[in-house]
Structure 1
Amino acid sequence: MKIKNTDKLRYAFRAIVFKEMGDHFRNKRMLILFGIILLTCIGSLYTAMSGLKNATPAEETESSFFFLKLFTLSDGTLPAYFVFISFLGPLLGIGLGFDTINSEQNKGTLSRMLAQPIPRDYVLNAKFTAALLVIAILFFSLSFLVIGAGLIALSIPPTAEEFMRIMCFTFVSVIYVALWLNLSVYFSVCFRQPTTAALAGIAVWLFFTVFAPLLINLILKTLEPSPYAPPYSQYAFQQFQFAIIQLIPNELYSQATSTLLMPTIRNLGPLTIEQIQGAIPGPLPLGQSILIVWPQLTGMIAVTMACFILSYLRFMRKEIRSR
């Protein structure tokens, strides 16, 4: 009997996931967001190819990583692909999650769903899983689109390391958007009106994108040591500056993706002269690049899990009544 009940719950979970994924792909709001991200991907890909055509012969070495440059290179007319994702990714996550719970509650379908023999947490988990799968399908499709365009334009296949770096970059992008998705789901649980939840999510996004860097710059200017200060105090200030910047999710994503897509980046924080001496310039293997960005990746995953836990606890204690 327990096996049959477990099978029924799994079937109900899959049914909710597929239903939510279908709603996302048929939603006009989501189609507009998907179209904007696709257009920006095509535009950044065009500028990257233009930049590759204008590259000097000295830059075209064996370690140039041409396929990675399709994600990072720009001719100056448009930003690179990963810069667009850091800007538009939060909007995609907010758009997928701001009406996850409150729209069902306003329609009266949430109380009917919970009246069925389905655990309450299955509903929230299924909705989050569906949105996460939509994000993963979109970003992996865009990455393969860029790889396919690169195959046609360059007439050479990517190396194994290039392919793995692109997949790691795509995985980090999914985690970054999932962070904003969980935040918007939390606002959807807290606020009854979807517009309020959407405005709250956009307000947080604007704060970290526009106002947080300004506040950090003001704090750093007041604490900046004198040019004649001892070297150890200047090094401590550089460490503090690097640590306080880690509070911005956009900066965590930019540091992680730039390190994965640019193998020549060997360090993200400040270094002393003793640490620089003896270092041999050159591209790092993928494993070493992952070790460099592991703190940033762990921070994004931790914030994502914290937002999901807050949404889960709030939803499990929420009183739901039919209108």
Structure 2
Amino acid sequence: MAAGVHEKTVHYSKPASPFAIIVKKEIGDLVRSWRFIVLLALIALTFLASIYVSLTNIKPGAEPERFLLYLKILTTTDGSLPSFHIFMSFLGAILGIGLGFDAVNSEQQNGTLIRLLAQPIYRDNFLLAKFISPLIVITTLFLSLGLLMIGGGLLITGVMIELVEILRIISFILLTVLYVAFWLSLSIMLSVKFKQATTSALTAIGIWLFFTIFYKIVVNMIVKAFLPDPAFLLQEDILYYNNLILDLLRVSPGQLYADATTVLLMPAVRSLGPLTMEQMAGAIPTPLSFRESVLIVWPQLSGLFAATTVCFALSYYWFMRREIRS
């Protein structure tokens, strides 16, 4: 080799995986869609309104109000407007359904699904990307709202946030993401099952309305029809039937989410069921630790996670067996 001539080392970057490319494309399409912009505006306005009502009803100068102030910002209300975690039991379902009801059937109706799967892309990567992409956007959204709440509360009240508040707020955000993930997984399952996006959307909305409005009515009708008159029951029997009613109501995902958020954001709540006088007499009137609150809501977290997993497993099963060309 001639003097002064040096060999050049060429570095080749590793190509991105098909799954990462699909996720990146889905996130870009999602954040630019009018559907997401409308849902984002609805959640942001609800969040700001709830925080404003909470801050106007909290007096941070008083010493009792300074204790766990940021948890009170998320839960305090004057009755004119529900707190944010109550709103999210409704809006979270709408957000999940709105982002997933046409995830698969719209691709097939537009003719893009058969062209996409003709590439070296696995079906499971495609379906998983349809689920992961909205979750990334949803997680970013709620983390941003949480940071906005903490920053705004710090500027307005001047009260420093405590470590236990950070843990509880992060747990609340993750729980909300899991709740939205259930409805997202359910809507994706329906988008795989039905060929028309309108059918999957109406079915998902119907399921949400049933659990939100009609399920409690059905449970109350069953209780009045089959359970004995409480006037002829002992205290132990009344406690048993009350726990039975609560267990029936917890079939609803909204009830699981409401129970879990109540315990995580309100450390004074010691139980999700009725307590006897003996239990109340022996209880110490102090807030629960973060670990104790998590142990109380662990069944609710497990229930939401299991329901999400079942819906996605059914989506995977039906999609892998589906004839794409039809």
TM-score of the two chains, using structure 2 as the length reference:
0.92
Q: Among residues 285, 288, 293, which one is paired with 1:289 in the alignment?
A: 293
Map 1:119-198 → 2, pairs under 5 A: 119-198=122-201
C-alpha contact 1:94 1:181 (8 A) present in aligned 2? yes
Matched, 1:117 2:120: yes
| SS in structure 2 of the partner of residue 320 of structure 1 | coil
**Per-residue deviation at 1:62?**
7.1
2:48 corresponding residue in structure 1 = 42
Pick closer, same or farther for the CA change 1:120–1:35 going to 2, 3 Å: same
Task: Give the counterpart of 2:207 among 204, 215, 234.
Answer: 204
**1:203-222 deviation line (CA, Å, top 9, x unaligned):** 11111111111111212223
Letter in 2 for 1:78: L
- Alpha-carbon separation, structure 1, partners of 2:296 and 2:153: 27
Q: Is 1:84 aligned to 2:97, yes or no?
A: no
**Matching residue within 211, 227, 248 for 1:244:** 248
Alignment-derived partner of residue 32 in structure 2: 26
1:260 lines up with 2:258 in the alignment: no
1:4 corresponds to which residue?
A: none
Query: Are the aligned partners of 2:58 and 2:65 in contact in 1 as well (CA < 8 Å)?
Result: no
Structure 1 vs Structure 2 CA RMSD? 1.6
AA in 1 matched with 2:211: F
- 1:312 to 2:316 alignment: yes
- Say if 2:66 and 2:159, in contact at 8 Å, map to a contact too: no
- Structure 1 distance, partners of 2:292, 2:65, is 20
Mean CA deviation greater in 17-26 or 190-199:
190-199
**Using the alignment, how far apart are the partners of 2:182 and 2:228 within structure 1?**
32
Match for 1:17: what amino acid?
A: V
Given that residues 225 and 233 in structure 1 are in contact (C-alpha distance below 8 angstroms), is that contact kept between their aligned partners in structure 2?
no
The 2-side partners of 1:49 and 1:13 are apart by 44
CA distance in structure 2 between the aligned counterparts of 1:250 and 1:116, rounded to whole angstroms? 40
CA distance in 2, matches of 1:229, 1:161: 42
The runs of 5 or more residues in structure 1 that have no matched partner are: 1-6
TM superposition shift of 1:56:
10
Q: Counterpart of 1:33 in structure 2: which amino acid?
A: L
Runs of 4+ in 1 over 3 A off after TM superposition: none
How far is the alpha carbon of 1:264 from its aligned partner?
0.4
Percent of aligned positions with the same letter in both sequences?
47
Equivalent position amino acid for 2:272 in 1: L
Contact 1:63 1:283 in 2 (8 A): no
Aligned partners of 1:96 and 1:131 also within 8 Å: yes
TM-score normalised by L of structure 1: 0.93
Contact 1:175-1:301 at 8 Å conserved across structures: yes
Partner residue, 2:218: 215
- Give 1:56-67 correspondences, 5 Å limit: 57=62, 60-61=63-64, 64-67=67-70
Report the count of equivalent residues. Answer: 312
Q: For residues 83 and 226 of structure 1, what CA distance do their matches in structure 2 show? A: 30
Q: Which has the larger radius of gyration?
A: 2
1:92 and 1:72 mapped to 2: Cα distance?
21
Whole-angstrom CA distance in 2 between matches of 1:126 and 1:209: 29
Q: Deviations over 1:94-144 (max 9, x none)?
A: 011011001110111111111111111110011111011111111111111
- CA distance in 2: counterparts of 1:154 and 1:196, whole angstroms: 48
- CA distance in 2 between partners of 1:148 and 1:121 (Å): 40
